[in-house]
Structure 1
Amino acid sequence: MATRTVNRAGPAAPDVVWERYARPALRPRWAPQFRRVETGADRIAPGVGGRVFSYAGVRVRFVVERVDEARRVWSWHAGLGPLVLRLRHEVLAASGGGSGTRLTVSGPLPAVLLYRPVAAWALGRLVASRLRPRAAS
């Protein structure tokens, strides 16, 4: 089991960034590795589950474990067969304005190392001032 952390900062306000996390339907607009998210919930909450679909055709099941709206922290696990990653996200106010986000990802070392640069790219988009238009699926 390995654990790595990714941090990104940007101009979007913390409440805006949190809302982007809290609404699964927005995920493909800032996380380019996901084509779409399939879930029955409009917001993340403990126990909410579903699947994320990649552009490569991979479908990964997920379950939200914890959500603390006041602290803007949430965690979830995502897995494909025996391969499971645990992810913890935080949104922080930046001292000069804007926000920072921190992701701590744990799982098998090769998967964590492969996911880290993709996550860094996505988190940079998450804290950007505007979301990209939704790509056609």
Structure 2
Amino acid sequence: MTLRREVGVEGSRDAGDVWDRYVRPARWPEWSPQIRSVEYGRERLAPGTSGVVHGPAGLRVPFQVVDVDEAGPVRVWAWTVKAAGVRLHLRHTVRATAGGTWTGLTMEGFAPAVLAYLPVARLALRRLMR
């Protein structure tokens, strides 16, 4: 069964800084507690590229960057990840607000995996905005 869920966080951090923390995979462990390190051949995300996220207990999660759009008032990047035979599609958005930034994540995939990842994603987004 496929499920789609969204989570969003608003904070005072500058939208440009939030975006920079997203598009530079080497920075992901700064704010994402489930990421220990990232193997990625570039400094910034680019569509059609791939890498591996290293998580706790030796977990390796291959990913493919599907889209990166920095133009316009809403910046977007999307990727697919696959772990233990489960594939998820994740779409991240960043938008400047009067008081700082709003960032959102839309997840789609195997329902139990989406539901299990929601609290982790919410925590990571809160840390991204600090």
TM-score interval w.r.t. the shorter chain?
A: over 0.9
What are structure 2's unaligned runs of at least 5 residues?
A: none
Aligned residue type for 1:24: P
Residues 37-46 or 77-86, more deviating:
77-86
Instruction: Find the residue that maps to 2:57 and give its secondary structure.
Output: coil
Structure 1 match to 2:128: 126
Aligned equivalents of 1:57, 1:107: Cα separation in 2: 23
Q: Which has the higher strand share?
A: 2
RMSD, matched Cα: 0.9
Aligned residue type for 2:75: R
Aligned residue type for 2:15: P
- Once superposed, which parts of structure 1, at least 4 consecutive aligned residues long, lie more than 2 Å away? none
Q: Which has the higher helix share?
A: 2
Residue 74 of structure 1: which of 73, 77, 80 is its match? 77
Instruction: Find the residue that maps to 2:58 and give its secondary structure.
Output: coil
- State the 1:81 CA deviation: 4.4
Instruction: Find the residue that maps to 1:56 and give its secondary structure.
Output: helix
Aligned residue type for 2:18: V
- State the 1:11 CA deviation: 1.2
Matches within 5 A, 1:29-108: 29-70=30-71, 71-95=74-98, 97-108=99-110
- State the 1:127 CA deviation: 1.1
Aligned equivalents of 1:56, 1:91: Cα separation in 2: 30
Same amino acid, percent of matched pairs: 49
Aligned residue type for 2:94: V
Aligned residue type for 2:102: G
Aligned residue type for 1:19: D
Aligned residue type for 1:38: E
Structure 2 match to 1:26: 27
TM-score, length-scaled by structure 1: 0.90
- State the 1:47 CA deviation: 1.1
Aligned equivalents of 1:80, 1:118: Cα separation in 2: 16
Total equivalences in the alignment: 127
TM-score, length-scaled by structure 2: 0.94
Aligned equivalents of 2:79, 2:58: Cα separation in 1: 21
